[in-house]
Structure 1
């Protein structure tokens, strides 16, 4: 680049001299005491770079990379398939530019690649592991910060409240992002107002869903240092084939925080005639937390009348075996999930978590099913080897309850092992 700049300047100077008529050219002999010298390449380059605020913002950004290697075992009974043994990798490279008068840009490219084929969808002989091979720009947006606001436009992760209704499905390797415009404002002390409009969703199956559009309104207010409330309205519009409602509006509120040694989280929401409720409490002890909660998701005879959680982080709720992902589209019998959990920190670097779930129907179906879905045991251990590397082991064991035709769950064992390197 330096040589190109120098050559361009010399050619331009030569061209100017050639255009001057010979009759009026003046030849002056420079004084010997003031010798003429050509500019150096470095001086030309530095002069061209001076004052380039935009260039500095572009080149002086933050580059990050992440490499994840994982193994997943999945054995689902009564489906006629062999157990899956999936070896997977994910590579992420991200770049955040510096600030240019309030503007910045962020790009995150990722590639999810299978290392074998003993799982579906690579091979339908085996159980499903929902991490298909895919390269995409998971996030790519332009941002602006100013006037107590932060705005983004482009592909972006959106996580609102506890991710129950709007989330990034971060456990799956192809996480979820929204093609959206968003703005958050904090002009009023202790109040954060958020709005986003998404015209499509980049799903965990590697496809982009253009059939759903979202208006997302969320307001959070900090009552005290350790107590917050929020209210939200998520307005979904569907362009689909008529198999579901043409619109799905969710209205709700949440209260969460900490009082002395007690963590708590309460949420309620409404959709048409459907209802959602969640209550959680946790005692914070020395290195050990003991908690529990109950979640209610109403059902309905018609799919349009069931409570749906289509774009939340479903894996975080109702057990890690993902037996109840159908709550995304609504369950006929609804769901009551009563659970207890214990978490502990050992030697500061090892975090342990155990969860027990008991699942029951919310009401009786037309087929007569009203009872015990089943129960599940979940265990997780995460160890930070160093600042940039951690390993995780996690398992879920689901046991089916009532053997009724209306109970579509099945016994399942799932195990994960992952290592993540960040730099």
Structure 2
């Protein structure tokens, strides 16, 4: 708390010196209880379910005047009970800086944004904030922004290092597709409710050779290129995307992969009906020279392919891909509450070994949401995975015969704590 209080005071002091127009302070607190009995992977024999409460406690500081914007976001992400009572420090170093960036508008159309930030576009399939994950996702990058007449262009550049070394520049962080270099271009054009966007993303990953210890040996690159669109037609709205991935899957394997999605959403009275299909290419389980497995990299993957996170949420890379046929229905249950049911039918995109069927299984997701007050929302869900023998084959061989389900309840509290407007001298 001492560090948070210091940041508040520094931010207020900075705003005063700069004769800011507005300073705001927001809180984001969300405790979530989960019961896991087959979440993320099939439930193994002779195991017991997991249950716990996690909590995100976040403070967001924002300052804005005519040309300059500053934003800081600090957070603590912890599991209830992970630190012994009366402990002077948190055992798991759960406190972190989530965002810290500045944005300066040179003209009405051009701006520069620097620092740690979320990068989120379109339906968040390739680049997203990952807000379901308590810690979220950020990028340390520089961004040039242009906007005019419902047209936006963002150009982003990143060069990452672990330390301020005197010699050598090896980057050993590899989890979650951590990159050493990144170049990105994203453009969007809007027409009323319709929109079209284009993305080019080039990631450079550290390459190592063993001689005999691992030594850095340049970079290998992966490119993701594609489009996303929305098109309304009366009560019907179509959305779709298509992406290609090329370059290298790893330091020695070529990559040639694709993704495409088409979805239709229909408003029928108070109910919303959705039907869609998504295909992400995969690699046959028999040997192939090229890797054909598409991975959506830095997206909010929890949104897609079922809420039980069997696919692409930190897993399922370099696998047989996925064809997802899905349908959804959502409708209000009161003035401030809604309920929804999603059904996903999963099939492998590539061939499985041993002549196994491509049918991986079916997932049902039931979700309820209610606004309790001005700043408080309640959300709850239950999911059931009905897996097949083929799912077992692509998920490490764990049996598919056990019950696989997951339940959760979450509170989201987002109060505006301070709004302070400064007068110009």
Shift of 1:201: 11
Residue deviations 1:141-196 (CA, integer Å, cap 9, x gap): 11113331343211111111211111121101111111111232113x23211111
Where does 1:314-353 land on structure 2 (aligned, <5 Å)? 314-325=301-312, 330-353=317-340
TM-score (norm 1): 0.76
Where does 1:44-83 land on structure 2 (aligned, <5 Å)? 54-57=17-20, 60-76=22-38, 77-78=43-44, 81-83=47-49
Aligned partners of 1:354 and 1:405: how far apart in 2? 25
Q: 1:294·1:336 contact (CA, 8 Å) conserved in 2?
A: yes
SS at match of 1:161: coil
Shift of 1:209: 7.2
User: In the alignment, what sits opposite 2:274?
Assistant: 291
Aligned partners of 1:387 and 1:297: how far apart in 2? 40
Shift of 1:287: 1.4
Q: 1:185 to 1:219 in 2, by over 3 A?
A: same
Answering whether residue 233 of structure 2 is matched by residue 233 of structure 1, we say: no
Aligned partners of 1:163 and 1:261: how far apart in 2? 24
Residue deviations 1:38-69 (CA, integer Å, cap 9, x gap): xxxxxxxxxxxxxx9734329x5111112212
Once the two structures are overlaid, the 10-residue window that deviates more, 193-202 or 314-323, is 193-202
User: In the alignment, what sits opposite 2:226?
Assistant: 252
Answering whether residue 407 of structure 2 is matched by residue 419 of structure 1, we say: no
User: In the alignment, what sits opposite 1:358?
Assistant: 345
Q: CA RMSD in A?
A: 2.9
Answering whether residue 60 of structure 2 is matched by residue 94 of structure 1, we say: yes
Q: 1:80 to 1:348 in 2, by over 3 A?
A: same
Once the two structures are overlaid, the 10-residue window that deviates more, 312-321 or 346-355, is 346-355
Q: 2:177·2:297 contact (CA, 8 Å) conserved in 1?
A: no
Which of residues 125, 137, 143 in structure 2 aligns to 1:164?
125
Residue deviations 1:114-167 (CA, integer Å, cap 9, x gap): 1136xxxxxxxxxxxxxx862111011111133313432111111112111111
Aligned partners of 2:391 and 2:309: how far apart in 1? 20
Q: 2:377·2:413 contact (CA, 8 Å) conserved in 1?
A: yes
Where does 1:13-412 land on structure 2 (aligned, <5 Å)? 54-57=17-20, 60-76=22-38, 77-78=43-44, 81-99=47-65, 102-116=67-81, 134-145=94-105, 146-187=107-148, 189-200=149-160, 211-222=179-190, 224-241=191-208, 246-272=220-246, 273-301=256-284, 304-325=291-312, 330-403=317-390, 406-408=393-395, 410=400, 411-412=403-404
Q: 1:85 to 1:326 in 2, by over 3 A?
A: closer
Q: Number of residues paired by the alignment?
A: 351
Aligned partners of 2:229 and 2:18: how far apart in 1? 45
Once the two structures are overlaid, the 10-residue window that deviates more, 171-180 or 340-349, is 340-349
Shift of 1:200: 4.8
TM-score (norm 2): 0.76
Structure having greater relative contact order (Cα 8 Å, sep ≥ 6): 2
Shift of 1:78: 1.2
SS at match of 2:187: strand
Aligned partners of 1:209 and 1:405: how far apart in 2? 25
Aligned partners of 1:329 and 1:83: how far apart in 2? 22
Aligned partners of 1:227 and 1:338: how far apart in 2? 24
Residue deviations 1:68-108 (CA, integer Å, cap 9, x gap): 12111111211654211111221111111231x51121100
Shift of 1:331: 4.5
Aligned partners of 2:45 and 2:206: how far apart in 1? 32
Q: 1:94 to 1:404 in 2, by over 3 A?
A: closer
Q: 1:347 to 1:405 in 2, by over 3 A?
A: closer
User: In the alignment, what sits opposite 2:11?
Assistant: none
SS at match of 1:315: helix
Q: 1:309·1:329 contact (CA, 8 Å) conserved in 2?
A: no
Q: 1:200·1:209 contact (CA, 8 Å) conserved in 2?
A: no
Q: Which has the larger radius of gyration?
A: 1
